[in-house]
Amino acid sequence: MSAIIDPRQRARERQAVEKPDFSAVILVGTGDNLYPFNQGTNVLPKALMPVGNVAAINLVLDWVFAAGLTDILVIVPPSSEASVSEYLHQSYNTESHPRARISLKSYADGEDDDEEADPMEMEERAGTARLLKRFRSLIKTDFVLLPCDISFPSTLTLASILDKHRATPDAVMTSVFYEAPEAIKENEEKMLVATDKETDELLLITPLETLEAEDDLELRTSLIARHPTLSLSTRLLDAHVYVFRRTVLDLLATRRSKDLSSVREQFVPWLVKGAWQSGLGHEWTPILCPPRRDPLSLALSRSVAMPWEQAALLDQSSCPGSAASENAPLPATSTGEELAAFKAAVSKSGKTRRRSARDNVPWTCRVVISKPPTPAPVAAAAAAPAKGGNKGKQSPGPEPEYLVRANSLAGYWEINRRLVRALGAANAGQAPGGVANVGVSAATGAAPAAATAADEIADSAQISPDSLVGDGVRVGDRASIKKCIVGRHCNIGRGAKLTGCVLWDWVTVEDNARLENVILCGNVRIGEKAQIKDCEFGPGFEALPGAVLKGERLIAGQEA
């Protein structure tokens, strides 16, 4: 007799299998470290700041979608809510991303804080930890916390980070640290980071400024005893990428907002300390590892033949993935008394539980470190001697891939320069180094120079293959564009020369101007025959004709 199959049951099973076990939370800041981009007229939100002619948040969203996550919560400042909402509806709608479920919230939304404030005050002093606390009711699963301004190397995928977190059931957090290029590292806060080289546990995060003020580094002997392979480094930076167990939000809810404002500076170091300090660890365990009811224990606890003391023990269970539950011996039989004794051995209050090297703190904080591989030199063809007779000459290979954040001017410069190098490598026919999610054409949504409408570019204009030109750009006679990223609807005058520049949308460069290593935000105008080098200009800035500027950061209304 064939079994009757209920199609609704199959649908429910399929839905359960397909439902992701993680969601993503993207926090959008105000760009405090991005002057002069954040000052002037028509300032773009940080999430919409162009990187390779697409919004910065595209890089993060596409990275999340590539890992199979579809539930995304985006939290933005009140001043950015309208523009970011409009952009997401245009670029990530149900037609282009039918499975995506993107929820946009303002800082002012969410649960009431323990400190009342109006929306503008909240925008000024809203910390990342405070925002997580306000929106914890919207986060139903384990989640990954991300910034909106990060570009990842091709060797680091979100799927690999989530897999590592899944492979360590005792982890309540898996964070990402990275080694940055020297140009970026100089502008970032230096930290001392302690990790266990064998277990990849994160053990300590301390700003170097604190250590310099105290002149001493104190490490507890208990920490060294439990982690003999402890490693200290000052080369690592926090990527602000964290995979959290959902119960971390319950622990965060126990603290006042003013006590823990920042995830990176306060909450994560506090959580890491509790992972190896047994006092804090056991105090937080009921929150981070809530007990789970065993159906067999529940049935036996209701047995009229069992003493109430043993029945009470059956209601207690150990934390999932804890050392106690993994190392405890299995009971010889399944009788009520022996099962109760077994539960006592593994319960938190049991007197006979086995003590592990970590004093049975049943949860840990883990770390993923992103380092660029050392590039090996590529040998030139030995059969044909190089020009000048240098047979077997070593040529440099692709540049190493770094994780980069555009939360500073140095980081923003690096991401765009990496794209330019990738364009040059792609046109030279070699594998591009450092083009993870900042790629050519398809990845950026922008067209190479040759793809722009022919009638917009003069025949005598020169645009190098390692330049990126957006739609609707006009380039005059004898103009030269080399190693540049030019946004949409820009107007480049006759005889203008641009080298190593980044132009946002609607920028005007008048005739015979000379620009080198310059970032021009939206609606900037550069006057005729102006000479600009190593400058950044905010939205709406105007440089007068014939102006000579070097090393300036100016906003609309300012004069050099």
Rounded to 5°, the CA angle 361-365-370 comes to 155
Average pLDDT over residues 35-61: 93
Residues of the chain with CATH 3.90.550.10: 17-288
Task: Name residue, tokens 């990530």.
Answer: 92
| Alpha carbons 532 and 497: distance in angstroms, whole number | 11
Mutual orientation of helices 278-288 and 268-276 as an angle, nearest 10°?
110
Element spanning 255, H or E:
none
Please give the pLDDT value at position 558. Answer: 85
pLDDT tens, 383-399? 445 445 555 555 555 67
Model confidence band, residue 87 (pLDDT cutoffs 50, 70, 90): very high
Global pTM? 0.79
Please, which residues have CB within 8 angstroms of residue 182's CB and are 6 or more apart in sequence? none
Structure tokens at 22: 């993680």
State the pLDDT at residue 160: 96
Conformational region of residue 159, where left means phi above 0, alpha means psi within -120 to 50, and beta covers everything else: alpha
Rounded to whole angstroms, the Cα distance separating 412 from 341 reads 60
Give me the pLDDT at residue 505, please. 96
**For 240-244, 252-256, 327-331, which range has the lowest pLDDT when averaged over its residues?**
327-331
Considering only residues 444 and 223, tell me which one the structure prediction assigns the higher pLDDT: 223
Residue 316 confidence (pLDDT) above 50 = no
Q: What is the model's pLDDT at position 423?
A: 84
Least confident of 88-92, 189-193, 365-369: 189-193
The gap from C-alpha 124 to its chain's centroid, in whole angstroms, comes to 22
CA-to-CA distance for 420 and 481, rounded, in angstroms? 12
Q: How high is the pLDDT of residue 425?
A: 78
pLDDT band for 326, please (50, 70, 90 cuts): very low
| Domain 17-288: assigned CATH number | 3.90.550.10
Confidence of residue 292 (pLDDT cuts 50, 70, 90): low
Quick one: what percent of the chain has pLDDT higher than 90? 49
Name the residue with higher pLDDT: 445 or 391.
391
Instruction: Say which range, 98-107, 405-414, 427-436, 477-486, has the weakest mean pLDDT.
Output: 427-436
Domain with CATH 2.160.10.10 in the chain: 408-560
| Residue of 309, 386, 379 lying closest to 349 (CA atoms) | 309
Average pLDDT rounded to a whole number, residues 74-81:
95
Give pLDDT, residue 259: 76
The topology under which CATH files domain 408-560 is UDP N-Acetylglucosamine Acyltransferase; domain 1 (2.160.10)
Q: Where is pLDDT greater, at 127 or 434?
A: 127
Q: What is the pLDDT of residue 485?
A: 96
Q: What per-residue confidence (pLDDT) applies to 185?
A: 75
pLDDT tens per residue across span 450-484: 445 445 899 999 999 999 999 999 999 999 999 99
pLDDT score of 101 more than 90: yes
